[in-house]
Structure 1
Amino acid sequence: MNHLPQLLRKTPLAILLITWFVSCQSVNTDQALTVQLDNLEKHIQVLSSDEYMGRMPFTEGETKTLAYLSEQFTALGLTPGNAGSFEQGVPLKSVTTQANPQMEVRTGQVSHVFEGLKDYVLWTQRVGESLNVDDAELVFAGFGIVAPEYGWDDYQNLDVEGKIVLVLVNDPGFGSDDPAFFKGNTMTYYGRWTYKYEEAARQGALGCLVIHNTIPAGYGFNVVQNSWNTTKLYLDAKDGSEPNLSVEGWVSYPMATKLFELAGYNDRELLAKARSREFSPIPLGLRARTDMEVAVAYNTSNNLIATIPGATRPDEYIVYTAHWDHLGIGKPDERGDSIYNGALDNASGTAALLEIARSFAESSEKPDRTVVFLAVTAEEQGLLGSAHYAQNPVFPLEKTVANINMDGINPYGRMRDMELVGMGQSELEDLAAEELEKEGRYVAPESNPSAGFYFRSDHFNFAKKGVPALYMGTGIDHVEKGKVFGKELADNYVAQYYHKSSDEYDPDRWNLEGAVEDVGIYYRVGRRLAFSDHWPAWKDGSEFKAQRKK
């Protein structure tokens, strides 16, 4: 937009120092905090520079990034968080799949051949030179959900050993407009495609294929097609503790319709049945045949962990997270630029992590609880760094009070609101609302709750383990131009910059005044917990509440 650079023109750094007063009844220390714009800008400029090559794991960009973050942690006087080291190794495996361009599906004497990429996308986490699918039975398992709290079990009385389950995207609540039915149009974790694979693996299935549908998925089949015959990173669970499917993937809606037709069913009839608690899985009488060539390589990336030890309750922890990685070097754009700098995603969040660490470190009194600053790797590859930490926590998760995650910090100037992702999950959002209210600001619900953004950043791996987790996004109620203009800015970022080489720091386009205010909110929420004995709880209706009780 032609007016964007002028609106977001940067104010001179010399006058940009925003000061807040910490007014919390449980905090009687440091009365003032300064979050400095020039610090945020410096860190973003460095981490998103071409020199850092897009911060891809296993590249020189990772080496430079880890060195910079370690240097900053050391300069702040932070304590290395992992047995005298800032680093926590994250063992990963790189799996490259070459799927057969055809899949034959037959029933009796009738068969149909589907085309890879056009009709389906397949991959595997299994290690081996090849993987054959030879007459595997197909079963329709509804939404592929087992959710006792909703009285829901799509796998009831079904033995899936050696079989491939077909499941619907999202969850049964989508389109119901009934917030008591799952969560209505707000996606639960059960609606995430990653959950579908996890549950199918727990059930012992050979494979799981998610039926794509653009509206409940929130994106077109072209997004799924980007995974055709690509290389994917996974955590390397050498002990085999994590169950994996032999076949993971998606099928297009037209392919699913054809499969149902071959089986003698009407697709609308099956979809209606799948929305009922009385649904039982349906063997389709179909058998599939295809294969994949598989290549695997192993390597280790790193999370970085720094702490400020608590003064009175050092064995209770507040964990701040931000992912340091991005997409590295890829296909050149129309300008010939091939470096995916990831300035907003997530050099900005990493810069906020450093600035919050500085604010705690320079405080005149140390917190009661230990504050942890965790910069995680491989978020862009599937939240892998935070998943490894959650599976191998340096600090006990049952002693972890909360996680506050930062993934993309406001570059658009001052906003009246901050978007709360996953509203209704935990009491952390109430603390955030209180801190925003002190500044004359407010919490806004996420604009697209059906997209499941609560499950798409690093806080989610803490939530899965029962640790209350807060994730907020940039608001749209622009102080000068209002909500319509703020929405235009957000939409423009997705269209022009998200996961593109154009995501660079540009002082003529960025305005970090709003970022300074938002970082202050993250700081003050964590500070309230760090200087108190309060344990925030999950709210009723959260799918993670039961895990915390365990």
Structure 2
Amino acid sequence: MFVNRLPAILAGALLSGCASSALAADSARRPAPISLDTLKSATQTMSTDAFEGRAPTTAGEEKAVAFIADQFRKAGLKPGNKGSWYQNVPLVENTASPSQMTIGGGRTPLVFDYRKDFVANTYQVQPRTELAASELVFVGYGINAPERGWNDYAGLDVRGKTVVILVNDPDWQASDLNGRFGGKAMTYYGRWTYKYEEAARQGAAGALIVHQTEPAAYGWNVVQSSWTGAQYNMDDPDNHMDQSKMVGWLTQDAAQRLFAASGKDLGALVEAAKQPGFKAVPLGTNVSIRLDNQIKRQASRNVIGVLPGARRPDEYVIYTAHWDHLGRCDADPSGDDICNGAVDNASGTAGLIALAEAHAKTGAADRSIVFVAVTGEESGLLGSQYYAENPVYPLASTVGGVNMDSLSLAGDARDFVAVGGGKSELDTYLGRALGGLTVKPEPSPQAGYYYRSDHFSLAKKGVPMLYAKLGNDLVKGGTAAGEAWQTRYRAERYHGPNDEYDPTWDWSGALHELQIYWQIGRDLATGSAWPNWNQGDEFRAIRDRSRSGAAGQ
């Protein structure tokens, strides 16, 4: 892992001034004309009940993308996709109605209730999927990583079977960042998306992840709200028939009952799964479940605007933020069932609009600056994935960029955190933009945030992307106040109906963040350098290959 190197990297950048000479251009150093009114009004508008939580392919989407396109136009951008503000993203929507989940073959038959004990869905696009007495196998963390000397599927044939998997990585409880899987920092192997992908590659008919709040970094309420109702995936000519028939989550309580009925000790097996050489354990029980699926195919949309470059318009700097949220979700005690997504991510999309306005007011830079409001982040980074696989602007000619996912609304802070920091030469640009802020390591690397937002889609294709935000050491109240704000947000608002616009928010932190994002983008767009991933980073070879054939190399 590179996280521990971040403070030293930034300090070196600030002291040495080693960035390209263009970074010192006076025109790139003026303060950003960020409009607080734009920021507030756009956040408030997109998080009203009229937008119905901005779920893809709904009436809420229609309002959201039309609003963003109009704001881009008013800001002074040009339509970013061959004269259009939109890039169609073909999606398939599936609303599953699972039966009860029954467990047989053990000491005691079990019946699990949907939402209370489990959630389940399918990536396969067909009216019904079903498991009938599918044998259950505990595969630990469900990781196959030959480069790390780890394979939880070694010698195992899971075709037709259902695998039970732990969330996160084997060393997530480490006290530092040293370990086969980055110590307490989650790698992509710890993400639920990877675990389902690997289960499908292994031929598993079903895959169930055991939910635990600490290693997952969110409670069961988040799983409930995110995994019930309409679910979205990329449309696929083969209907995703190479995927497992059923994917889902079990509560920890349900998992304990399952293992007890199987005559196994869940706690002991969890400990065993942390050790190299762990061997999967057949549970001697089976699972049955039926999913009746309502399927709808419909395109969602990314919204794209561009500020064309004055000297090198065929070189691009990119900003991203996702406009979507969950739509209608579990109602709160008052009956409110709209997940408005004010912080997540009306605030980030408003920041995208405010940055577009600020860059346009400053005037064209040497390079073009692209602003992409993407769809489907909450469903697995679908809009950014589609853009990365079908780029409007060539990725080899995309210099780098910044992603915004939830602005800081607790007030200004004294520190700044680069999520997954120390990965690329963009840290030099971040260091220049930070001024006197203290750089701190990522406070929750075990949550795997670098793999949970839209920058990751572009990073996987080699484009250097920065995901950074203010830390928790608030100017008013210090670290205790900052951590308390984050704890309350995660417990009371995140992915729930309470994530609504609050007129009492302190916007000073959000403005500070946007000033930094503006400066980074301006430096990239007025410079001539091509920042890369650091040597040894997982994305370096991809970038080197993409740039090897680019003009001027």
TM-score norm. by structure 1 comes to: 0.86
| Runs of 5+ consecutive residues of structure 1 not aligned to the other structure | 1-22
- Listed one character per residue, the Cα deviations across residues 91-137 of structure 1 (whole Å, up to 9, x for unaligned) are 22221222221313326xx6633323344332212222222212323
- Listed one character per residue, the Cα deviations across residues 126-179 of structure 1 (whole Å, up to 9, x for unaligned) are 222222212323232221112233222222333332222222111012123352
The yes-or-no answer on 1:448 pairing with 2:447 is no
The yes-or-no answer on 1:378 pairing with 2:341 is no
Give the corresponding residue for 1:343.
342
Amino acid at match of 1:47: M
Name the SS for the 1:288 alignment partner: strand
Once the two structures are superposed, the pairs formed by residues 161-240 of structure 1 within 5 Å of their partners are 161-177=159-175, 179-181=177-179, 182-226=181-225, 230-240=229-239
Amino acid at match of 1:247: M
Q: Which of 484, 489, 497 in structure 1 is aligned with 2:485?
A: 489
| Preserved CA contact (<8 Å) 2:20 2:529 | no
Distance 1:392 1:272 in 2: 43
Distance 1:57 1:201 in 2: 26
**% identity of equivalent residues:** 45
Q: Which of 432, 456, 461 in structure 1 is aligned with 2:457?
A: 461
Distance 2:336 2:101 in 1: 35
Distance 1:167 1:331, change over 3 A: closer
- Listed one character per residue, the Cα deviations across residues 21-48 of structure 1 (whole Å, up to 9, x for unaligned) are xx98424252523223233223223333
Q: CA deviation at 1:524?
A: 1.1
Name the SS for the 1:210 alignment partner: strand
Give the corresponding residue for 2:9.
none
Q: CA deviation at 1:247?
A: 1.2
Distance 1:228 1:319 in 2: 30
| Preserved CA contact (<8 Å) 1:313 1:369 | yes
Distance 1:204 1:115 in 2: 24
Distance 1:203 1:434 in 2: 46
Name the SS for the 1:445 alignment partner: coil
Give the corresponding residue for 1:138.
136
Distance 1:330 1:226 in 2: 6
CA RMSD of aligned residues (A): 2.9
Amino acid at match of 2:479: K
Amino acid at match of 1:479: V
Distance 2:284 2:492 in 1: 46
- Listed one character per residue, the Cα deviations across residues 252-304 of structure 1 (whole Å, up to 9, x for unaligned) are 34444455555555444433432233233344444333322222112221111
The yes-or-no answer on 1:511 pairing with 2:511 is no
Q: CA deviation at 1:333?
A: 4.6
Distance 1:148 1:537, change over 3 A: farther
- Listed one character per residue, the Cα deviations across residues 360-381 of structure 1 (whole Å, up to 9, x for unaligned) are 22334x3333221001122233
Distance 2:101 2:49 in 1: 41
Distance 1:26 1:245 in 2: 51
Distance 1:243 1:404, change over 3 A: farther
| Preserved CA contact (<8 Å) 2:318 2:369 | yes
The yes-or-no answer on 1:471 pairing with 2:467 is yes
Name the SS for the 1:380 alignment partner: helix
Which moves more between the two structures, 214-223 or 34-43? 214-223
Name the SS for the 2:131 alignment partner: strand
Name the SS for the 1:362 alignment partner: helix
Distance 2:258 2:175 in 1: 30
Amino acid at match of 1:477: D
Distance 1:220 1:331 in 2: 14
Amino acid at match of 1:209: L
Distance 2:36 2:321 in 1: 18
Name the SS for the 2:237 alignment partner: coil
Amino acid at match of 1:425: K
Distance 1:487 1:432, change over 3 A: same
Give the corresponding residue for 1:116.
113
- Listed one character per residue, the Cα deviations across residues 330-358 of structure 1 (whole Å, up to 9, x for unaligned) are 56655665544333222221121112112
Name the SS for the 2:378 alignment partner: coil
Distance 1:87 1:289 in 2: 43
- Listed one character per residue, the Cα deviations across residues 401-431 of structure 1 (whole Å, up to 9, x for unaligned) are 3231111222233222233222333332443
- Listed one character per residue, the Cα deviations across residues 229-269 of structure 1 (whole Å, up to 9, x for unaligned) are 63312221235578422110123344444555555554444
| Preserved CA contact (<8 Å) 1:98 1:229 | no
- Listed one character per residue, the Cα deviations across residues 470-500 of structure 1 (whole Å, up to 9, x for unaligned) are 2223422222332222323333333443334
The yes-or-no answer on 1:102 pairing with 2:97 is no
Distance 1:180 1:354, change over 3 A: same
The yes-or-no answer on 1:156 pairing with 2:154 is yes
Distance 1:106 1:399 in 2: 57
| Runs of 5+ consecutive residues of structure 2 not aligned to the other structure | 1-18, 546-553
Distance 2:214 2:109 in 1: 27
Amino acid at match of 2:59: E
Q: CA deviation at 1:184?
A: 0.8
Q: Which of 525, 530, 538 in structure 1 is aligned with 2:533?
A: 538
| Preserved CA contact (<8 Å) 2:324 2:378 | yes
TM-score norm. by structure 2 comes to: 0.85
Give the corresponding residue for 1:13.
none
- Listed one character per residue, the Cα deviations across residues 59-85 of structure 1 (whole Å, up to 9, x for unaligned) are 333222222222222234423222221
Q: CA deviation at 1:89?
A: 0.8
Name the SS for the 1:34 alignment partner: coil
Which moves more between the two structures, 512-521 or 258-267? 258-267
Distance 1:88 1:278 in 2: 46
Amino acid at match of 1:470: L
Q: Which of 504, 524, 528 in structure 1 is aligned with 2:523?
A: 528
The yes-or-no answer on 1:324 pairing with 2:319 is no
Distance 1:63 1:253, change over 3 A: closer
Distance 1:544 1:148 in 2: 18
Distance 1:285 1:339 in 2: 42
Give the corresponding residue for 2:10.
none
| Preserved CA contact (<8 Å) 1:55 1:325 | yes
Name the SS for the 2:450 alignment partner: helix
Q: How many residues align?
A: 522
Distance 2:353 2:228 in 1: 37
Give the corresponding residue for 1:302.
301
Distance 1:333 1:119 in 2: 19
Distance 1:344 1:420 in 2: 19
Give the corresponding residue for 2:423.
425
Distance 2:283 2:331 in 1: 45
Distance 2:338 2:421 in 1: 35
Amino acid at match of 2:121: W
Distance 1:227 1:63 in 2: 21
Q: CA deviation at 1:222?
A: 4.6
